[in-house]
Copies of this chain bind each other. A is one copy, B any other.
Amino acid sequence: MSLSVAVAGASGYAGGELLRLLAQHPELEVRTVTAHANAGQPLVSVHPNLRSLATLTSQETTREVLAGHDVVFLALPHGHSAGIAAELPDETLVVDAGADHRLLDAAEWTRYYGTEHAGTWPYGMPELMLADGGRQRRELRAARRIAVPGCNATAVTLAAAPGIAAGLIDPTGLTSALAVGSSGAGRGAKTHLLASELTGSATPYGVGGTHRHLPEIAQNLRMVGATEVRHSFTPVLVPMSRGILATVTAPLVGDASADELRGAWLSAYADERFVHVLPAGHYPRTADVIGSNSVHIGVGLDQDAGRVVMIAALDNLGKGTAGAAIQSANIALGLDEQLGLPIDGVAP
């Protein structure tokens, strides 16, 4: 008695990972995939790894094709989801892996994306702490429109949130540097994303306050309790296809010990099945979360620098995109939050 699912924009990396995870989901069944440029082609011609979905053929992304499913996942470039969602019934669960509906503030949207804001949907980060002590999860129960967070935003937010909520770090002195796999930059054929360009090299991009995940992170941290956020954010492409390692630092507020600090993170995520705070002195690496919906977090105190160091690892396509989409859909549908979502990463 499974629910029927359509995935729109199936030919990209986010679409592919959604399908890989959905193929193992016991309650959701993929009936339809759409992909404009590949319409009419077998799905496996675009994603040869998805042998268990070998009977599916990509269709055009139209209302007719998408209507009639219980859940529609959108993995489209930003700017497309509002139009499609408007054409679908209100009772259809629409989960948007793109950016369109993440931001609350229309002006910030326009500043970073240059277009008119399409409105805000419930934000698909169940673990997000709220200033009143709740979690974002409550906003997702019975939601029928969900905006999936950005992958970098998830890494930085989950790394820093417990410290901000507990008043242990100063959000006006935040810095983060992220080692990022190339799949986060999408499947478009661009010279600077060629294997020859990225193999054997570390390449920064979006330097100096220009990255579009910045307002999303600030919004999240204000939800957690920050009154002002100042944040220097630098992503660096490194030679791996998946994974984000976010190294976040912020000034220590007060005089908590390293153990007290770690205790705050442990306590914040004690009930979270996908967020794992590592033992003292341990820090995560991306290999351990590849293919999973897990986030590994290590927290340390640098006494000399007066800073807390928070390092988070996740799979940008997993918990960073497709995993969060399915986790949020599970909540909205009243299913077990963990259904279809691996805990263990594929290492080595």
Contact = CB atoms under 8 A, between A and B. Distances in A.
Contacts of A208: 300-302, 309
Integer count of this chain's copies in the complex:
4
A308 B307 CA distance: 18
Q: Contact residue range for chain A?
A: 35 or more
A32 interface: no
A286 B202 contact: yes
Contacts of A179: 179, 202, 236, 238
A234 interface: yes
Nearest to A235: B247
Contacts of A305: 174-175, 209, 230-233
B48 A288 contact: yes
A63 B283 CA distance: 36
Nearest to A50: B344
Nearest to A251: B173
Given A173-B173, A194-B187, A302-B209, A283 B204 contact: yes
Given A189-B190, A200-B241, A238-B238, 18 more contacts: A13-B196, A48-B278, A48-B282, A49-B345, A51-B343, A177-B234, A182-B199, A196-B348, A199-B200, A199-B348, A200-B240, A201-B286, A202-B245, A203-B245, A204-B245, A214-B304, A232-B249, A236-B247
Nearest to A231: B305
A265 to B, nearest CB: 14
A195 B241 contact: yes
Interface in A285-330: 285-292, 294, 296, 298, 300-307, 309, 311, 313
Of the candidates A181, A230, A284, A348, the one having the most CB atoms from chain B within 10 angstroms of its own CB is A348
B300 A207 contact: yes
A209 B281 CA distance: 12
A20 interface: yes
A257 interface: no
